[in-house]
Structure formats: C-alpha cells, structure tokens
Amino acid sequence: MVTIKSKKEIELMKEACKVVAKVYDELEKAIKPGMTTLELDQIAEKIMRENGAIPAEKGYDIGIKGVPPFPAATCISINDEIIHGIPSKNRIIKEGDLVSVDTVALKKGFNGDAARTFMVGNTSKEAKRLVDVTKQAFFEGIKYAKPGYRIGDISHAIGEYVHSQGYSVVREFQGHGIGRDMHEDPGIPNYGKAGRGIRLEPGMTLAIEPMVIQGKPNILELDDGWTIITEDGSLAAHYENTILITEKEPEILTIL
C-alpha cells in the first residue's frame, strides 16, 4: 500500500533526508586515493550519529538463508560493482576509480535515502560521461514526478534517456517508496511503459535511483550475497534522491 505522508510526517522525513545530504557533502570532501572503503563508511556513520540519526542499512536483513545482515552504514561499490558493495579495511580507493555510495539515515522514525557516484582524482572522459548521464537520468525521470502522472512515466523517461545515450539500465533492482520503512510501495523501475502504474499524488515520498551500466545490462551477484557487479566488467554508476510529490514540482529532500 502506498502511504500518503501528513505535514508532520513530511517534516520528519525532511530531517532524516537532511542528514543524508550532509553525509554526501562531507564524503565528497573526504574521498581520496589511498583511503579504504571502511574509512569512508566510518565517516558516514559518524555524521549520522552526530546528527541524531542511525544508519538504517547497518544490520539490514534480506531474510535469505546464508546471507548475513548487512554489516555497514553504507553500501560502497567501485567501478564494475553496481550496488551493495560491502565496505572493507582491505579495499583501497585508487586514482581514477568510480565509487558509488548508497546510504539510508533513520531519524525520529523516518528514513532518508540517496546515492552518489564519486569520481576519484583524474577519471577518464568515458567514466565522467557515465556519471553525468546517470545523474541526468534522475532529472529526466522527475520531470514526471507530479500529480496526474504515473510511476510508469518516471520509469519510461529514465530508461529512454539512458538508452538514447548508449547505456543500459539495471532491470533487476529499482527505486521505491520510502517513509517509516526503508522500502515501501510502489516499486519504481528504471524502464517501463508510460501511462502505467499508480497515479502520483501529493504527499508521496519516493526514492528514485537510476543504476546505469556502460555495457550490457547483464549482472552477477558475488559470493558475499550482497555485491552486484556487471557481467561484462564494464563501469556502473548510481544516482538517487528521496523526493516529495507536491501540488506542483517535486521537492528533492536529500540535497542541501
């Protein structure tokens, strides 16, 4: 069931989302070659806790036998890793890497969710273009995040834009509603047919997140049960924000 947030609930959502925005502002300043993904994760968790939030991803359990709960505050995925990479003291960030960070802050009972792909040092023109297209795909999608449009209109806009740029979207994972739970209805694929799905209404809060692959759309899951990579080894990028459907233009909650 899709939840429509009250004014009070929206204010609480905004608090959680502001924490997430602060996390990314600080991570962008901190990330550099030579640091580990665990160090980056620890910075994110410190910022959340200093701002009265807790990392919602830490301990998140997908309920699959043999797959342990997620052990960190952030998912950190590098280069051909698309999503759900596990931070490690042994994973060193290198010059030219694309580092995708996805995190959720829980504050006063509500969640804020966003993702960014950082370009570390001097990256290739091809990598920069991928990151730019992934970000723009989000903005192409939210042109339709208004009352009267449907979820499928957002999905269609994202997919069509990405494909027009010669890239692929991940089909097995998608955006989602968000609020008291990290993942709520509706699901928001990054491809689809316009005019399909539920109709958007003011008070809906959605996490829209293009996940874009430089090569073919095929993916693989690593043995850790979490990390998703591109099958052909091509680069991937991720861009996500939590948005609010208003009477007019959508409001992006996870930017400062």
User: How far is the first Cα of the chain from the last one, in angstroms, to the nearest whole number?
Assistant: 30
2 domain residue, yes or no: no
Question: d(Cα 100, Cα 84) in Å, to the nearest integer?
Answer: 9
**pTM for this predicted structure:** 0.97
Query: What confidence score (pLDDT) does residue 167 get?
Result: 98
Question: d(Cα 141, Cα 69) in Å, to the nearest integer?
Answer: 32
Question: d(Cα 99, Cα 80) in Å, to the nearest integer?
Answer: 10
24 domain residue, yes or no: yes
Place of tokens 């990390």: 227
Number of domains present in the structure of the chain: 1
Q: What is the CATH number of the domain that holds 186?
A: 3.90.230.10
**Which domain covers residue 125, as residue numbers?**
7-252
Query: What confidence score (pLDDT) does residue 14 get?
Result: 98
pLDDT in tens, the chain (256 residues): 899 999 999 999 999 999 999 999 999 999 999 999 999 999 999 999 999 999 999 999 999 999 999 999 999 999 999 999 999 999 999 999 999 999 999 999 999 999 999 999 999 999 999 999 999 999 999 999 999 999 999 999 999 999 999 999 999 999 999 999 999 999 999 999 999 999 999 999 999 999 999 999 999 999 999 999 999 999 999 999 999 999 999 999 999 9
Query: What confidence score (pLDDT) does residue 91 get?
Result: 97
1 domain residue, yes or no: no
